[in-house]
Copies of this chain bind each other. A is one copy, B any other.
Amino acid sequence: MSDLLARLRVRGWRMTAQRRVVAEVLDGDHVHLTADEVHARAVKRLPEISRATVYNALGELVSLGEVLEVSTDRRAKRYDPNAHRPHQHLVCARCGAIRDVHPVGDPLAALPQAERFGFTVSEAEVTYRGVCPGCVTA
């Protein structure tokens, strides 16, 4: 879909085989992969790629703002390639499945000035928790 590779090249991101593969993995499915899952998929295309490189590449994509980090629990961080549109996450408490969701209104607006305690508040991150259809019936 989105031409992540092209955008990265334009922004002067030094392109290597490893980085290309990582970017391609993320640009493919719009699921929320862990670093290890990204590594597993990357290995299929480039067997020698190391975990450290995957971590490096992911970290850079995050600081470039092309990918979002999501940590909904104490397990592995997940990487969300859908960085272009603001959204929140809905997580299944049983199986850990994650969906992007779009609540109405700006969650930041719900925090009155009096509740900001002098902070410069820049972001509101909402995690909805529940049980997904699959886990309810199972």
Residues of B with C-beta under 8 A to A103: 107, 110-112, 115
Residue of B nearest to A71 (CB): B74
Counting every copy of the chain, the complex holds 2
CB distance from A121 to the nearest CB of B (A): 4
Question: Given A71-B74, A111-B103, do A117 and B90 touch, yes or no (CB 8 Å)?
Answer: yes
Say what secondary structure dominates the interface of chain A: mixed
CB distance from A27 to the nearest CB of B (A): 23
Residue contact B74 to A102, C-beta cutoff 8 Å = no
Q: Which of A108-132 contact B (CB under 8 A)?
A: 108, 110-112, 115-132
Question: Given A71-B74, A115-B101, do A126 and B124 touch, yes or no (CB 8 Å)?
Answer: yes
